[in-house]
């Protein structure tokens, strides 16, 4: 959230590049920041990563290595152009990696 406000303030000052490529890069940095955290961490606001912001949780899949993968999509589009996944340890809930699928370039991006 702090990153979004920073870019909003930079936008107001006319110094920010808000191209789709830049917003996609910001989103990737946010996703990388989730690695090492718990998928069940609610951060005191009552919303766990299962229901991240405006994204909708689609369910868990058990992977061949015993970990689980939580799937999400961004519902504010006409149809899901961006789906992303967190692989996490089954017992601890620790996120160990993420991946994403886009139907068009830069569909997974921070929306300002």
- SS3 state of residue 63: coil
Range of the domain at 97: 36-112
Q: How many domains does the chain have?
A: 1
For the question of whether the overall pTM of this predicted structure is more than 0.75, the answer is no
Local confidence band at 107 (pLDDT 50, 70, 90 cut-offs): confident
Q: Could you read off the pLDDT of 63-91 as tens digits, one per residue? A: 999 999 988 887 665 666 888 999 999 88
- SS3 state of residue 59: strand
Cα–Cα distance between 22 and 37 in angstroms, integer?
Answer: 24
Q: Is residue 4 one of the residues assigned to a domain?
A: no
- SS3 state of residue 73: strand
Q: Is residue 47 one of the residues assigned to a domain?
A: yes
Q: Is residue 80 one of the residues assigned to a domain?
A: yes
Instruction: Report pLDDT for 66.
Output: 94
Q: Is residue 31 one of the residues assigned to a domain?
A: no
Question: Which residue shows structure tokens 């569909």?
Answer: 107
């Amino acid at each position: 959230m702090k990153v979004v406000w920073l870019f909003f303030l930079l936008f107001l000052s006319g110094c920010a590049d808000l191209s789709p490529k830049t917003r996609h890069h910001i989103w990737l940095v946010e996703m990388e920041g989730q690695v090492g955290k718990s998928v069940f961490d609610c951060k005191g606001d009552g919303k766990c990563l299962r229901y991240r912001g405006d994204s909708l949780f689609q369910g868990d899949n058990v992977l061949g290595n015993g970990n689980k993968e939580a799937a999400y999509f961004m519902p504010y589009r006409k149809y899901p152009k961006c789906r992303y996944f967190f692989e996490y340890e089954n017992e601890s809930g620790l996120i160990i990696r993420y991946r994403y699928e886009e139907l068009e370039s830069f569909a997974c991006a921070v929306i300002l």
